[in-house]
């Protein structure tokens, strides 16, 4: 535990305290809603990042697990009358079970099989849920009467902290090192006794569980929506885009990406209706092509370049001073 670590830990605690106290200063409901959206996208991208960023297994169907969380939560909580926490937990567990059905066969082979499988899974659930539950799911009147935006805000805050915290603890553990070794070079990792399959399944399970929980929070938050909506490919795309724009395989990347995403989307939505998807699509392609480390890398590059220039100036100016 160096001083730098202590400083970072202190900063995190202060940041969380500020976010907890936020509703005391901010009374406008639209701002709280914006904060909820930031929480949703930051946590969704962070949960994707555990699997896609740290373990190198690109999922193109993250929405399947997120969506299943929303569906199970709404069914158990509203239709079956179970308590909310239990319903959300069940949603997370359902997402894990579903993910392993795809993951176990697809991970046995390399290459793009897992990506194809998850892409297909997302689409299949999207179509089936749209067919099976074609009408809007709405919160019942007694829920609406007591609807409080603050409880939603705190649930999202809790899940965002949980997701980022889990990601942080996981990637700084022995298991996390194994995950990254699998990402970098699967054969080398295997030869050192790291089971690639086991680490991939672990990352998949954790990532899906978190996505399922976040889905539960979404189900608690949204007043009315088509059950199909959260299964839509756009949620998978958003998770991947945010992680990439921020920087995959870093803890801070999805956080930066999520904030950037929500704010830019708000900005674009004010001026141009629904063009944000095109903008993000192009931005995403550019990042993958030219800036694989995302905004995080861009920042560290500019900082390094700046520091180098500063040092150069110092060394150049030193002899002059001496002379």
Partner 1 sequence: MLSQLPQNLVFGLLVGGLYGLAAVGLSLVFGVTKILNVSHGELLMLGGYASFWLFTLFGVDPFLGLPLAILLLVLLGLVLYKVVFGRMTKLGEESKIKNTMLVGFGVGIVFQNVAQRLWTADSRGITTTYSSSVFTVFGVRFPIVRVGSFLIALFVLVALHLFLKRTYLGKAIRATVEDWEAAAVLGISTDRVYLISFLMGAGLAGLAGALVSVGWSIEPTMGLEWTLTSLIVMVLGGLGSFVGTFVAGVLLGVTQSLTSFWMGGAYREMVALLLFLLVLVARPQGLFGTKEG
Binding residues for partner 1 (CB under 8 A) = 56, 58, 60, 101-102, 105-106, 108-113, 115-117, 119-121, 123-124, 127-128, 130-132, 233, 237, 240-241, 244, 274-275, 277-278, 280-282, 284-285, 288-289
Cα–Cα distance, 78 to 179 (Å, whole number): 38
In angstroms, give the least distance from the CB of 263 to partner 1: 20
In the complex, what is the shortest distance from the CB of residue 229 to partner 1, in angstroms, rounded to a whole number?
14
Pick the closer one to partner 1 by CB: 39 or 258. 258
Shortest gap between Cβ of 182 and partner 1 (angstroms)? 12
Helix (H) or strand (E) holding 137: strand 137-138
Q: How far is the CB of 213 from partner 1 (least distance, A)?
A: 25
125 within 8 A of 232, measured Cβ to Cβ: no
Q: CB-side exposure of 49: number of CA atoms within 13 Å?
A: 34
Nearer to partner 1, 18 or 112 (CB): 112
CB 164 to partner 1: min, Å: 23
**Which CB sits closer to partner 1, 26 or 277?**
277
Instruction: Give the nearest distance from C-beta 242 to partner 1 in angstroms.
Output: 13
Residue closer to partner 1 by CB (options 81, 111) is 111
| CA 172 to mean position of chain CA atoms | 18
The C-alpha angle with vertex 176 and arms to 112 and 52, in degrees rounded to 5, equals 30
Measured from the CB atom, the residue of 25 and 290 that comes closer to partner 1 is 290
Task: Name which of 96 and 217 has its Cβ closer to partner 1.
Answer: 96
Question: Would you say 249 and 49 are in contact if contact means Cβ atoms under 8 Å apart?
Answer: yes
Report the residue number, 116 or 149, with the smaller CB distance to partner 1. 116
Nearest to 156 by CA among 105, 106, 103, 218: 218
Half-sphere exposure at residue 209, Cβ-oriented, CA atoms within 13 angstroms: 13
Helices and strands, counts by H and E, the chain: 14, 2
Q: Which two tokens stand for residue 179?
A: 């995950």
Shortest CB 77 distance to partner 1, Å: 25
Question: Whose Cβ is closer to partner 1: residue 278's or residue 300's?
Answer: 278
Cβ-based neighbour number of residue 57 at 10 Å: 25
* Residue 127: CB minimum distance to partner 1, A: 5
Q: How far is CA 228 from CA 60, 63, 240, in A?
A: 17, 10, 20
Q: Three-state SS for 58?
A: coil
Pairing of strands 224-225, 137-138: antiparallel
């Amino acid at each position: 535990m160096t001083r730098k670590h202590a400083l970072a830990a202190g900063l995190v605690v202060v940041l969380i305290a500020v976010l907890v106290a936020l509703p005391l200063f901010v009374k406008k409901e639209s701002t709280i809603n914006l904060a909820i959206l930031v929480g949703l996208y930051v946590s969704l991208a962070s949960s994707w990042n555990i699997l896609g960023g740290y373990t190198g297994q690109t999922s193109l169907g993250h929405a399947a697990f997120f969506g299943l969380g929303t569906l199970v939560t709404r069914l158990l909580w509203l239709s079956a009358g179970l308590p909310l926490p239990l319903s959300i937990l069940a949603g997370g567990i359902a997402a894990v079970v579903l993910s392993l059905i795809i993951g176990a066969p697809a991970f046995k082979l390399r290459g793009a099989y897992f990506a194809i499988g998850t892409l297909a899974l997302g689409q299949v659930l999207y179509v089936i849920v749209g067919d099976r539950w074609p009408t809007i799911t709405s919160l019942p009147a007694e829920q609406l009467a007591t609807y409080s935006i603050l409880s939603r805000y705190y649930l999202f805050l809790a899940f965002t902290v949980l997701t980022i915290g889990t990601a942080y603890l996981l990637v700084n553990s022995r298991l996390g090192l194994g995950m990254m070794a699998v990402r970098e070079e699967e054969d080398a990792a295997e030869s050192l006794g790291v089971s690639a399959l086991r680490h991939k399944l672990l990352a998949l399970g954790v990532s899906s569980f978190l996505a399922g929980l976040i889905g539960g929070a979404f189900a608690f938050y949204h007043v009315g929506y088509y059950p199909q909506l959260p299964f839509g490919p756009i949620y998978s795309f958003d998770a991947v885009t945010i992680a990439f724009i921020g920087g995959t395989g870093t803890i801070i990347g999805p956080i930066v990406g999520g904030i950037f995403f929500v704010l830019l989307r708000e900005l674009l939505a004010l001026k141009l209706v629904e063009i944000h998807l095109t903008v993000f699509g192009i931005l995403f392609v550019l990042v993958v092509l030219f800036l694989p480390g995302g905004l995080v890398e861009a920042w560290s590059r500019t900082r390094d370049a700046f520091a180098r220039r500063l040092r150069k100036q110092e060394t150049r100016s030193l002899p002059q001073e001496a002379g």
